[in-house]
């Protein structure tokens, strides 16, 4: 069995859509970081997206675990022209497009950005490569809200809309496993 421990990076405190912008994470809650690291398996390898909020969170919980190279395929959703803008700002300009993007996720793209199907294909490919290279191991994958939801959707076999109903807090752990019987979900949004 290969287990993924999907960790959402520390908070950025941004009140907008943050995708590929390289904002730092607030990792000042040392007690939460220590609890998170203690919860994760000590023999697991650690990988993160290449955005600094994920990289620095992975650094904070590495604690002697083997580190894999940062992977740009594990980045958050590319929001294109909506990047660093609030829902209200975008809704004021294009209410139909933004509602369609979140309410019927699939092929709808923000201008210059990615659709949910684009994100899912990108992340699934990266996760499949990781799991093939590290069979029968635990992998700690430090990434983003959208990245984690792609794996929740895949493991549960649910729609993207249903996946978006799951809350994924900063510094939470979502655990999914791939076994000979398929995907299993152990926990979603666990805060150690």
For residue 66, what pLDDT is reported? Answer: 97
- Provide block-wise average pLDDT over 10 residues at a time, the chain (192 residues): 96 96 98 98 98 98 97 98 96 94 93 97 98 96 98 97 96 94 95 96
- Domains located in the chain, CATH noted: 2-79+116-190 (3.40.50.1240)
- 39-45 long-range contacts, CB within 8 A, separation 24+: 39/173, 39/190, 39/192, 40/5, 40/7, 40/65, 40/140, 40/173, 41/3, 41/5, 41/138, 41/140, 43/137, 43/138, 44/5, 44/137, 44/138, 44/139, 44/140, 45/134, 45/137, 45/138, 45/139, 45/140
For residue 179, what pLDDT is reported? Answer: 87
- Order of strands, sheet of 138-143, starting from the edge strand that comes earlier in the sequence: 45-48, 138-143, 2-8, 173-179, 182-190
For residue 180, what pLDDT is reported? Answer: 86
């Amino acid at each position: 069995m290969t287990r993924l421990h999907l960790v959402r990076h520390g908070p950025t405190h941004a009140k907008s859509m943050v995708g590929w912008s390289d904002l730092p994470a607030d990792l000042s809650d040392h007690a939460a970081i220590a609890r998170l690291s203690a919860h994760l398996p000590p023999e697991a390898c650690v990988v993160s997206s290449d955005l600094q909020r994920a990289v620095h969170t992975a650094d904070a919980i590495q604690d002697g675990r083997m580190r894999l190279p940062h992977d740009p395929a594990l980045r958050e959703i590319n929001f294109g022209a909506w990047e660093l803008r609030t829902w209200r700002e975008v809704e004021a300009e294009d209410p139909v497009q933004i509602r369609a993007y979140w309410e019927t996720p699939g092929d709808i793209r923000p201008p210059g950005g990615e659709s949910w199907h684009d994100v899912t294909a990108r992340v699934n490919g990266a996760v499949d490569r990781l799991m093939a290279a590290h069979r029968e191991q635990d992998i700690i994958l430090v990434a983003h809200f959208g990245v984690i939801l792609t794996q929740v959707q895949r493991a549960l076999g649910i729609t993207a809309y249903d996946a978006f109903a799951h809350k994924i807090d900063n510094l939470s752990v979502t655990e999914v496993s791939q076994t000979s019987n398929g995907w299993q979900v152990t926990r979603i949004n666990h805060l150690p």
